[in-house]
Amino acid sequence: MIELAFGESPAGYEEPISELQRRVYAGIWCDLMSENAPLRAIVNGCVIGVPVDFYDFSLRSNLSDGEIKVAQLIGKTLSQIPGVGDRWLFLRIRAMIESGELIESSMGTGDHPYSGVVKRRNKM
């Protein structure tokens, strides 16, 4: 994943576009901005606004029946959905802990926040 500030472009990826293409892309971007979605994702080659929990399904599918290290959960998920940052997945795991969906068996340390261990909450 490449993150760029507005106006930046990575070396070797630049290509000139016509004025019409520029207007079309500007219009698409204006539509995305007016949508004000909390997250953008590329789905079927199109950038769309998605809810904040859009990738939670993948985290859930990579949870084992027992405990799993946060780093392993993030690694498995990253291998399935390219273009998503590990930090974003970590923040979603934290949200799942806060909501009670996951239980934190052990916390990660300050220097190694991904060293924590989580598990599914048992449903009764």
Q: Could you list the pLDDT tens digit for every one of the 124 residues in the chain?
A: 567 777 777 777 778 889 999 999 899 888 888 888 888 888 888 888 899 999 999 999 999 889 999 999 999 999 998 788 899 999 999 999 999 999 999 888 888 999 999 999 876 5
Residue 120 CA: distances (Å) to CA of 59, 96, 98, 105, 109: 11, 10, 13, 10, 21
Q: Where are the alpha helices (DSSP H) in the chain?
A: 19-35, 56-61, 70-80, 86-98
Q: What residue ranges define each of the domains in the chain, with the CATH number in brackets? A: 19-50 (no CATH), 56-120 (1.10.10)
